[in-house]
Amino acid sequence: MNNPLLQKEGLPAFESIEASHIEPAIDQILLENREAVKSLLSTTKDYNWDNLLQKFEDMDDHLNKAWSPASHLHSVADNDQLREAYNACLPKLSDYSTEMGQNENLFHAYETIANSDDYESLSAAQKKIIKNALRDFRLSGIDLDDEKKERYKIIQQELSRLQTKFEENLLDATHAWEKHITDADELSGLPESALALAAQTAKSKDKEGWFFTLDFPSYMPVMQYADNAELRKEFYQAYVTRASDQAPKENSDWDNSKVMLEILKLRTEKAKLLGFDSYAHYSLATKMAESPEEVLEFLNDLAKRTKEYAKNEFEELKQFAKEVTGDTADVTELDAWDVAYYAEKLRQKKFDISQEVLRPYFPVNQVIEGLFAITHKLYDVSIKQRQGVQTWHKDVMFFDILEPNGDIRGSFYLDLYAREHKRGGAWMDECVVRKKSSASIQNPVAYLTCNFTPPIGDKAALLTHDEVTTLFHEFGHGLHHMMTRVEYSGVSGINGVPWDAVELPSQFMENWCWEKEALDLFAHHVDSGEALDDDLFEKMTRARTFQAGMQMVRQLEFSLFDFRLHLEFAANETLDIQNLLNEVRQQVAVVKAPEFNRFQHSFSHIFAGGYAAGYYSYKWAEVLSADAFSKFEEKGIFDKTTGNEFLQTILEQGGSREPMDLFVEFRGRKPSIEPLLRHSGITA
């Protein structure tokens, strides 16, 4: 069988890949890799980079080139056959990873190279790969006895299965809920863009009226604009009970309650098996933060600085809601499903602006061109679309990043719109990693995936400013992957970067969405072509810090819940997840969550993604990104020298050096929290 997943060169042949290709390809590569490892370790004694470690880089790369497109399709074009093939491969990949991590001959080979005379002649990137590998051998249980090694292997298999199960339950629960409305009066208050999307969705299902789902572009406008409070509550309840014990009985197969507990038990067991006090301690072994105390102190300090702001903002919102409704009674609470609605009305009253007012200024093609123009100004590269590349959906585009001499520096797929069978959220992932081969340098390729409001009919999609910011964020991750100069895949791009530093380039890019000089490059009205005027920009800027305190405590709630959950579960495996979340909310939240709220059941960042005991990374890296951008504020947002310094010290270095050293090299000092507080409108 000619299996497209076995090709070593070029881009994935997405139009030829079928679910039936996945398992045979993975089986074949794992078999070849195992045989190659056995041969290398039995025939070579005088180990060095070229005769051992470079060959491992090549083997890992071949496996990645098969698994990356298969895994990506599972996220963006899911179906039963793909899901079955994907899940069949998980235990095989887990076993292979554990075998490599516990291979004592391989471990000793790395130690031999680290202690050899040749070690000093290696590059910083090569040394960092060896240092990381020796650490990761320990984290894979290299020091365990045979019985414990076997237990570690079983734990890894189960975690892989359960984390995938969590994500699939959430996807199925999200797409199982739908709302068909035929009475226009029920939709009073909704903007034209939301109505047009709902009508287009209804038409695609051969229905009259309007059709809504829990995909974010469909769900959020209802929460922000629908005058019907009962409708808002219905949508809110459906959204916050997805994949939980509070969902309708017919959806009980997708309840994540037991899955979460099993994940926590296995993570804790793994951590203790390896000698850590908790999974939080284990998680920090590969991060910038040095101890759980440091993380909790950081989060609690931010909460102390912010809580009073958030309380005042919420009091203002409650008072406003009281005035709007003409309620003479004391408004002691505002229901959770009313917060976004009244917040949007208060924003419009205070600043005379909304996402809908701004939407006509952000036609998707203009935004993309503006993003590319900003990247050119900062880093002197150009970006061009390439036709004829195979993709997984007709809306997906492909682009090359070009050096001034026309050479390709990196490439990426851009998949912007929400649709069925695609998981929610926005992310960047690796398709191909930059690395050196015997013949040449392999250029990096990224997947950039979002879930924006799709085009209505034959008109261009109009993005909200929030969606523009999300695109810039994911592109920042993409630049970290694609602009690297490191030639070894283990620390190329985002590889080897501590998780609490990985959000720096992404959050950093968001800043240009708030600068007039940058917006002038692309924010032009879809009909008149007029640029965003000074008056509208000033309103938008003034509204930037609207309810920033409330947003901050919401993120701190997620971060503290995640970290404390993984820290405290180790001492108490009967810990009640809901009670802990309630306790954290009591400490930091200002909006009271209703009894039925089961946010944790859809918290895929920590139960299915890479953020377990690491969600604090968003705030940690936001301190770095705000402070990094403050240098551009001092020198000019398109200052070539500063752009070049950021490129050379952060983006090009990948994981080849410690992120704090790189930050100090760029900024001239350690990071300060003050720029983040200033950007958030929170001052001492």
Residues annotated catalytic, as ranges:
474
User: Which residue has 């009205």 as its token pair?
Assistant: 525
Quote the DSSP letter at residue 453.
P
Find, among 505, 554, 580, 591, the residue nearest to 315 by Cα: 591
Residue 524 DSSP label: B
Residue type, 513: C
* Residue 506 contacts residue 476 (beta carbons within 8 Å): yes
Helix (H, G, I), strand (E, B) or coil at 178: strand
Tokens representing residue 509 in the block: 């890019």
Nearest to 622 by CA among 492, 476, 520: 476
Contact 274, 141 (CB under 8 A): yes
Counting runs of H as helices and runs of E as strands, what totals does the chain give?
26, 9
The residue behind tokens 């471990």 is 107
Cα 540 to Cα 546: distance, rounded to the nearest angstrom: 10
Q: What CA–CA distance (Å, rounded) separates 232 from 673?
A: 37
- C-alpha closest to that of 278 among 608, 556, 573, 617: 573
Which stretches of 389-439 are DSSP H helices?
none
Alpha carbon 17 to chain centroid distance? 26
Q: Are 500 and 521 in contact (CB under 8 A)?
A: no
How many whole angstroms separate alpha carbon 308 and alpha carbon 314?
10
Residue 199 — φ and ψ, nearest 5°?
-70, -40
Which helix (H) or strand (E) is 429 found in, with range? strand 427-432
Kindly give, in sequence order, each residue whose CB lies less than 8 Å from that of residue 391, ignoring residues fewer than 6 positions away. Answer: 14, 15, 397, 398, 413, 415
